[in-house]
Amino acid sequence: MNPTSKLRASKRNAPVREGSPPRRRPGPNHPYGDRGMECLCGNVRMAARALTAVYDEFLAPSGLTANQLAVLWCVVAREPVAMREVAEVLVMDKTTVSRNLAGLLELGFIVCRPGPDARVKLVSCTAKGRRAFTAAVPLWRKAQDWVERRLGRNAFARTVVQTKRLAQRIASEASG
């Protein structure tokens, strides 16, 4: 099955509430007819949802989602790592990082211990987490290759560089 076919199928088969009027697109003269389609944030979020569905499909055999892999990858690369640093590296708020780490902790993929001061928690990967990470990386590579084939090598490389630059620039200006 094509990774995006599940997503399309779930939208096609979405239940329609009884008594709901049919959905209609606003006409061309409606002031909000394009629904903000020129909005960078909205378009990046739509792309992120579509990409996440593809990567999740490829990663499914590893037992990790794309979000879990991103957090686990950060931990593996920097362990022991403070939760605050995970948030900074992944440009995530601390609540989202805590929630993602809690899921990995529940799966037995990471351990948390107190840091040098009471406000700091250090995160490290367990042997089980390393096995899951090792199983996920080749699947992640297949997802990367799948997306690259659809975009073309040059467009894919430019998109990766531009989105990374965008995240870093915006995050540094927002926190500075």
Q: What pLDDT score was predicted for residue 51?
A: 96
Tens digits of residue pLDDT in 139-153: 999 999 999 999 999
Q: Which residues are CB-contacts of 164 (< 8 A; sequence separation ≥ 6)?
A: none
Higher pLDDT, 169 or 106: 106
Per the prediction, the chain carries an average pLDDT of 86
Confidence band for 42, pLDDT divided at 50, 70 and 90: confident
**What single string gives the DSSP state of each residue in 45-90?**
HHHHHHHHHHHHHHHGGGT--HHHHHHHHHHHHHSSEEHHHHHHHH
What topology is assigned to 57-149 in CATH?
Answer: Arc Repressor Mutant, subunit A (1.10.10)
Does residue 26 register a pLDDT over 70?
no
Domain-by-domain residue ranges, the chain? 57-149
pLDDT of residue 131: 96
Judged against a pLDDT cut of 70, whether residue 24 lies above it is answered with no
Res 168: pLDDT: 86
Band of pLDDT at residue 109, cut at 50, 70 and 90: very high
Q: What is the pTM of this model?
A: 0.77
> How much of the chain, in percent, has pLDDT values that exceed 70?
78
HSE-up (13 A, CA, CB side) for residue 142: 16
Residues 6+ apart with CB under 8 A from 120: 82, 83, 84, 114
